[in-house]
Structure 1
Amino acid sequence: MHGLLPLLFLLLLAAALPAKAGCPAPPQGSFLQLYLDQGPPWEHTSAQALQRWKALGAQEIVLQWSAHGSPGDERFALIERGAVQALLEAGAQAGVRIRLGLRYDPGLWDPRNHDEGRSADGHTTVTAPPSELETYLARRLRDQEALVAALGPFANHLAFAGWYIADEIDDRNWTSPARRAVLNDYLADVADLLHSVAPGVDIAISGFSTGWMPPQEWAAFWTDLLTATGIDRLYFQDGIGAGHLEMTELPHYLPPLAEGLQQAGHGLSVVVELFGAGGQDEAFGPADPERVMQQLALAAVTRAPTVSFALPHYADSEEGPRAARLAAALAELTANCPARSKAQHENQDQPGR
C-alpha cells in the first residue's frame, strides 16, 4: 500500500494544479527574522520592503520571534527598541498582515531538556521531582507570560494577524508519551495565555519531520497535539532546504498530514524553504528557482496555503544576484497564477478551528 503513494500523489498533483503546466501558486506569506544588530530605522521592515515581498505574493509576514535566546537572556529588546511597532506600522502602510512570534530559544533541543521525569503512560508519580524538561518549560512559560504582556497591546493593531509560537517541534524528541504529555501541558498553557489576551485570534506553531516518524504516525501526532492544546494551525516546514527530508519523501508526508488536520478542523500551511547550501562564507544561500518550483508543486497537492522561509533573506531583489534570480522567478509565478494565489490566500485567512 505504501508503494502506491507516489503514483497516487502524481494523479492528485495533476488534478490539483492549474491547466497551465508548472504553475503552482507562489507563497502567500513569508517568515521574517529580526536581530538586535539591525538598528533603527529597521530598514528590513520598511513599507517599501513589504511592498516588494507583497509583489511576490506575500499577504502575511510571520515575525519568527519577538525575543531570541534563552529565557531571561534579554529583556525583549526588539519590542523596547521599536522594531515590532515599526513592523506593524509598515504592514499597515503596505497592506500586509503581521503575525507576531513569541520567543525563539535554540536551547529547546538541548538533550538535558528532554529527560523523562514521568512514567511511561505520561502521568507524573506523586514522589517524582520535576524533570529537566518540566523545569525548563516552566521557566519558558514564566518568560512567555512576561513577553505576551509586553506584546498584548499590539493585538489591537490594524495589521495584527495572529500569534506564532516559535517552538519548532521535531519528530525525534517527542516520541514518548511522557515527553508528549509535558509538551502538551506547556503548549496548552501558552495557548490559554494568548487566548486571554486576544480571544478568538488564530494561533500557529511550526514543526518539521526528519523522517523519524512514519507519515501516518506524524499526522496523528499533530492532530492530537493541536486538539489537546487549542492551537489552531500547523506550519509544516517542508525540510528540503535544511536537508531534513528529500524531495521524494514529501509526497508520503504531505497528503496524510493535510487530510488528518482537515478532518479534525485544524489549519495547515506548508512552509517552503527557499534556501540551500551556501557559498564558502555562508551556511545557507538562496535555492535555485527550479528546485523551489518543485517544492511549490508538491505543496499544491494539499491545497493548503504556502509560506516561504523566507523572502526577506533569500528572495529579495536587494539581497544579491542569487536572491534576485529567485525573486524574479516568484514574481513571474505571481503574475501568471493570480487566481490560484488568491484562492489559497483566502483559505489562509480562515481560522483553523
Structure 2
Amino acid sequence: LGARAAQPPGSAPARCALPSQRGIIWQPWARHGELDEAGWQALGRELVRQNYTHVLLQWSSYGSYEFWPRQQQMGWLASGLQHWRGTGLKLVAGLHMAEDYYGALQQSDSALRAHLAATRTRSLAQARQIVQRPPPLEVEGWYLPQEIDDLNWRSPGRQRMLRTFLSAMTGGIASLAPGMDAAPVYASAFFSGASTPREFARMLLNMHRASGVIWLVQDGLGTGRLSEERTAEYLREIARALPPAAWRGLLESFDEVRAEGQPPRFEPSDEATIARRAALWCASTGRQASVMFSLNQRMKGMLPAPTPEPSPPATGQKPRSRQ
C-alpha cells in the first residue's frame, strides 16, 4: 500500500507518484462462502491481472458473525484463501466491526467509550486468533474497520477518546508476537464538510503521531456528498499536513444510486469515472490513490449474488447497503 516517486515513461503525469503496491478492500459476507474452488481461482487471477498486490479484508467478524476460523474449524474464508497461494497476493486483516458502531457515535461520550472498549477487547482477541492460526497468505498489516469522520470526533473529549482507542489498538497488536510491532495498522477516514480541511487534517496528524495508525483517506466521490472541487480542497490539505508515510489514498469505485422510497444501491463506477477520480487524486496530492473501494463492486460479476444482509456503510457518508 506504499507509493513510489518514479514511474515508467508515459504512464502518468510526472508529478504523480504511482503506487508501488495496490490494495483493494473486500467486505466479506456470508454469501461469499458459496464461492467454489474455480471461483476463488478466477477471482485471484483477475486481481493479479488488474495489478493488485494486497487484499484488505474489511473485517474478520461483523456483529456476531465470525469470518475467521475458531479453534479447530477452518472456516470458508481461510479455506478459500488457500486457492490464492502462489499468486503473490498478500493480506491486510480487518478486525472486529460491531453492527451498532454508527449508532454508538450518536450516543453519549460514556456510552461511546464503553462501546470502543468492547470493540478493542474483541478486536485484539480476533488478531490473536489470526496470529495463532495464520491464513494461507501472508498478513502484511491490520485494519480497524471503525471509520473516522469529520463530524463526530471534533470535540476535545472525543479526540482524547479516539487517541486512547487507536493507541491501545496499535500497542495491543504490536505486543501479540515478536516482530508484530513492524506491521502497519490502518484505519480509514472521510470528510463530509463538517470540519474545515485544515481542522480535519490536523486531527489526522495528531492521531497518527499519538498512535502510529496509517490513514486510508476516502475521497467520498462514490456517494456524491461533496463536489469534486470541495473534495480536492480536503485532499490538498491532508497531503500538505501529513507526512507521506502517514496516509494512503482510497478511491471509491462505486456510485450510490438513490430512488425515492427505495434503499440506496451501490453500483460499479464506469472506467471513465474511475479515471476522472484518479486524476483528481493526482492533481490534488501529487500521487495516486493506492487503495480501491471495493472488490464487492469491482468484481461484482465474480461474486455470488447478494441477498439481504445487515450491510454496513463503507464510506462513512453513509451507504447502508453493501453487496
TM-score (norm 1): 0.71
Corresponding residue number in structure 2 for 1:159 = 138
Match of 1:108 among 91, 101, 106: 101
Corresponding residue number in structure 2 for 1:62 = 56
Alignment of 1:184-203 (within 5 A): 184-197=163-176, 198-203=180-185
1:29 aligns with 2:23: yes
Corresponding residue number in structure 2 for 1:236 = 217
Contact 1:59–1:97 at 8 Å: present in 2 too? yes
Corresponding residue number in structure 1 for 2:292 = 308
For 2:37 and 2:293, locate their aligned partners in 1 and report how far apart those are by CA, in whole Å.
Answer: 19
Q: CA deviation at 1:207?
A: 0.8
For 1:279 and 1:244, locate their aligned partners in 2 and report how far apart those are by CA, in whole Å.
Answer: 12
Q: CA deviation at 1:32?
A: 0.6
Q: CA deviation at 1:17?
A: 11
The amino acid of 2:298's aligned partner reads Y
Helix, strand or coil at the partner of 1:266: helix
Alignment of 1:125-136 (within 5 A): 131-136=110-115
- Bigger mean CA deviation after superposition, 82-91 or 269-278: 82-91
Q: CA deviation at 1:217?
A: 1.2
Consecutive unaligned residues of structure 2, counting only runs of 5 or more, are 1-6, 305-323
Contact 2:68–2:78 at 8 Å: present in 1 too? no
Change (3 A) 1:144 1:42: farther
Change (3 A) 1:154 1:234: farther
Match of 1:288 among 265, 270, 291: 270
Contact 1:52–1:316 at 8 Å: present in 2 too? no
1:277 aligns with 2:277: no
Change (3 A) 1:297 1:113: same
For 2:123 and 2:302, locate their aligned partners in 1 and report how far apart those are by CA, in whole Å.
Answer: 34
For 2:35 and 2:49, locate their aligned partners in 1 and report how far apart those are by CA, in whole Å.
Answer: 22
For 2:258 and 2:226, locate their aligned partners in 1 and report how far apart those are by CA, in whole Å.
Answer: 21
- Bigger mean CA deviation after superposition, 306-315 or 50-59: 306-315
Corresponding residue number in structure 1 for 2:122 = 143
Change (3 A) 1:206 1:42: farther
Contact 1:31–1:310 at 8 Å: present in 2 too? yes
Contact 1:17–1:297 at 8 Å: present in 2 too? no
- Deviation per residue, 1:52-111 (Å, 9 max, x gap): 022112111100111112xxx34x244345234235434433111111001122422215
Match of 2:233 among 238, 245, 252: 252
For 1:45 and 1:186, locate their aligned partners in 2 and report how far apart those are by CA, in whole Å.
Answer: 38
Question: What is the RMSD of the two structures over their aligned residues, measured on CA atoms?
Answer: 3.1
- Deviation per residue, 1:116-172 (Å, 9 max, x gap): 3xxxxxxxxxxxxxx111211122122123212212235586522210111111110
Corresponding residue number in structure 1 for 2:75 = 82
Change (3 A) 1:149 1:20: closer
The amino acid of 1:243's aligned partner reads G
TM-score (norm 2): 0.77
Match of 1:227 among 190, 194, 209: 209
Contact 1:279–1:285 at 8 Å: present in 2 too? no
1:97 aligns with 2:76: no
- Deviation per residue, 1:161-187 (Å, 9 max, x gap): 210111111110000000111111112
Change (3 A) 1:279 1:243: closer
Helix, strand or coil at the partner of 1:137: helix
Corresponding residue number in structure 2 for 1:213 = 195
Helix, strand or coil at the partner of 1:167: strand
Percent identity reads: 24
What number of residue pairs does the alignment pair up? 284
Select the structure of larger CA radius of gyration. 1
